[in-house]
Amino acid sequence: MHDFAHDWATLFSGSALISILTLTVLEIVLGVDNIIFISIVAGKLPRNKQPKARAIGLSLALLFRIGLLVSITWVLGLQKPLLTLFGFAATGRDMILFGGGVFLLVKTVGEIHNRIEGTEEGAILDLKKISMNRVVMQIVFIDIVFSFDSILTAVSIVSNVLIMIGAVILAMFLMLAFSGKVSDFINRHPTIKMLALSFLLLVSFILIMDAAHVNVAIIKPYIYCSMAFAFGVEMLNMRERKKKEKK
């Protein structure tokens, strides 16, 4: 059983404040792929319903993350082997990451296919058939998958659960505040959206490889740096196109 009394006693110290700020930044960095997914999924809804979908999805995801942190002992127990197949010891965490990776892979490939084939902008896509509940559930599900990675990373940095909860709440409010702007920016620029989908495709492979016990800690920095570089190049291209249009 976790000692929450001790966590509360050390919550209002200077080191605790530094830890909250550090973890908040970490949560935001680890949540970049989550924001991109939310932007693309919520973009399927009519424009006036998108803010509501993001707000409900992120709020439910926040409650779930707090629940995971309160039951941190159970979360850590997910790293223990549940079954062994052909010498591979699969844990609860592995199954969640694998399921999330496959889900993200299917969604991303489907989105890329729709964009290349042009069905997204044609009559095949009927916005009325896309329900708010479906979008919200997808946002919550993918956040659950990403939550395990961020929570286990946070546990390796601090042991105070209340500090982790404070950091998660701050990060989620910041994500909620800026997710609308990120969503509008991605949906306004087709090339940026394709880059975002490519990034999510890589993230889905990372989740699947992580579930297969591949050391993805070495791969992640290269992927994030590569995508940041590609994004920077595209921003320069967009600026150049704007200059040509003005001329």
Domain spans, the chain: 4-79+89-246
Handedness of CA 239, 241, 244, 246 (dihedral sign): negative
pLDDT confidence band for 187 (50 / 70 / 90): confident
- Position 26 scores a pLDDT of 73
In sequence order, the 6+-apart residues with CB closer than 8 A to the CB of 24 are 167, 170, 171, 174
Instruction: Confirm whether pTM is higher than 0.75.
Output: no
For 60, the 3-state DSSP assignment is helix
| CA 170 – CA 45 distance, rounded (Å) | 27
Which residue from 67, 75, 68 is spatially nearest to 91, judged by alpha carbons? 75
**8 A C-beta contact, residue 135 and residue 53:** yes
- With a pLDDT cut of 70, the percent of the chain lying above it is 81
| CA 204 – CA 97 distance, rounded (Å) | 9
Q: Which residue has the higher pLDDT, 4 or 161?
A: 161
- Position 125 scores a pLDDT of 44
How remote is the C-alpha of 226 from its chain's centroid? 18
Q: Which residue has the higher pLDDT, 208 or 185?
A: 208
Q: Which residue has the higher pLDDT, 246 or 95?
A: 95
Among 7-21, 67-81, 99-113, where is mean pLDDT lowest?
7-21
* Furthest CA-CA distance within the chain: 68
| CA 100 – CA 43 distance, rounded (Å) | 20
- Position 65 scores a pLDDT of 78
Among 57-66, 71-80, 115-124, 164-173, where is mean pLDDT lowest?
115-124
pLDDT at residue 123 is higher than 50: no
